[in-house]
């Protein structure tokens, strides 16, 4: 979610859409957690933190668990696969 929002904010800004205008779209279409994360991105919360909101080791563990469940169920979770790949870079 955060990665998709981050990329969307960059695309909006590079396309000439004001950051706050894009945030209003997010708020309208995806209220709740998406709006909160979008606001954090606008405010620069992520790069100002001394520690991340969620430890990378825990994120990797959760991704592995989700992918193991998916594999056992014969399902592909391509978004989780991509996120897990990014967590290892």
Q: pLDDT tens digits for 73-89?
A: 999 999 999 989 988 86
Q: What is the pTM of this model?
A: 0.70
Q: pLDDT tens digits for 5-33?
A: 999 999 999 999 999 999 999 999 999 99
Which residue from 38, 44, 40 is spatially nearest to 25, judged by alpha carbons? 38
Provide the residue ranges of all domains of the chain, joining segments of one domain with +.
2-48, 56-87
Residue 28's pLDDT is 96
Q: pLDDT tens digits for 34-72?
A: 999 999 999 998 888 888 888 889 999 999 999 999 999
Helix axes 78-87, 56-73, angle to 10 degrees: 150
């Amino acid at each position: 979610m955060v990665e998709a929002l981050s990329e969307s904010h960059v695309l909006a800004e590079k396309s000439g859409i004001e950051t706050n205008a894009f945030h209003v779209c997010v708020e309208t279409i995806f209220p709740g957690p998406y709006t909160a994360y979008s606001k954090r991105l606008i405010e620069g919360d992520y790069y100002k933190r001394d520690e991340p909101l969620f430890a990378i080791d825990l994120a990797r563990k959760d991704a592995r668990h989700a992918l193991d469940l998916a594999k056992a169920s014969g399902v592909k979770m391509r978004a989780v696969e991509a996120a897990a790949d990014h967590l290892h870079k």
